[in-house]
Amino acid sequence: MRQPMRSSASDSLAIERHPLVTRALHWATAVILVVSVSAILYRETIEHKTLRQVLMELHRQLGLLVLLLLVARVAVRSVKGLVNHAPGPSAARRRAATVAHWSMYGVIAGLVLLGWALCNAHAIHLRLFGVIPLPDLVAADSDLADTLSDYHIWAAWVLLSLVVPHVLAALWHHYIRRDGVLTAMLPGGSLSRRPLSGQR
């Protein structure tokens, strides 16, 4: 069993880096989501038909990849659990963090599945990586496609409303509490122990 770095008598914090697979999945998901959103937003600014098709297909494939990564993240989290970094976090704070994480997972899954169903409603049959055929979630239906398009956009806004506080919370931990929570999720580098604000 891995042991966290122990604090010294100077009130430094004991912190432990997340497993490599956890960090890799976290940042891969974040980067792919940003690229996917950027592709679809850029698509709305151009008229070149072929490029628009390429960007839409990129958006779809990245969405499916995010869903695969999400399944992997849930599996890893179930097996490895979460590293406890914050010194003595309250039960309420732990519950809030857990709810926030699972809410984001749920919204991401819903966002991708809505996009999947939206393609099917437009009579588009998805292939993972352009090779593996995927089952249709719904039958072709133009009216349903309009509804699913609205839901897909709303889900994207809901995800944004969860991601922004998530990022702000990470920055709060890093710059205000200085408890190593953000550092432990960053790729590479070495961990350092730093005193909490007010414990200097």
The C-alpha angle with vertex 105 and arms to 103 and 106, in degrees rounded to 5, equals 65
> What kind of fold does domain 20-185 have according to CATH?
Fumarate Reductase Cytochrome B subunit (1.20.950)
pLDDT given for residue 198 in this prediction = 41
CB-neighbour burial class of residue 171 (10 A; exposed 0-12, middle 13-18, buried 19+): exposed
Give 85's contacts (C-beta < 8 A, 6+ positions apart): 13, 15, 16, 179, 180, 181, 184
For the chain, what are the domain ranges?
20-185
pLDDT band of 83, cuts 50, 70, 90:
low
pLDDT given for residue 5 in this prediction = 40
pLDDT given for residue 84 in this prediction = 52
List helix spans (H) across the chain: 20-43, 49-80, 91-121, 142-172
pLDDT given for residue 81 in this prediction = 63
| Radius of gyration for the alpha carbons in the chain, expressed in angstroms and rounded | 20
pLDDT tens profile 165-200: 999 988 998 899 888 778 888 886 545 444 444 444
pLDDT tens profile 87-120: 555 678 778 878 888 999 999 999 999 999 999 9
pLDDT given for residue 199 in this prediction = 40
User: Across residues 79-93, what is the average pLDDT?
Assistant: 63
The mean pLDDT of the chain is 84
pLDDT given for residue 88 in this prediction = 53
Give φ, ψ of 168 to 5 degrees: -65, -40
Please give the share of the chain, as a percent, with pLDDT higher than 90. Answer: 62
Secondary structure element (H or E) that encloses residue 133, with its range: strand 132-133
pLDDT band of 50, cuts 50, 70, 90:
very high
Higher pLDDT, 188 or 26: 26
Higher pLDDT, 60 or 16: 60
pLDDT given for residue 10 in this prediction = 33
User: Across residues 48-71, what is the average pLDDT?
Assistant: 97
pLDDT band of 4, cuts 50, 70, 90:
very low
The C-alpha angle with vertex 32 and arms to 151 and 66, in degrees rounded to 5, equals 60
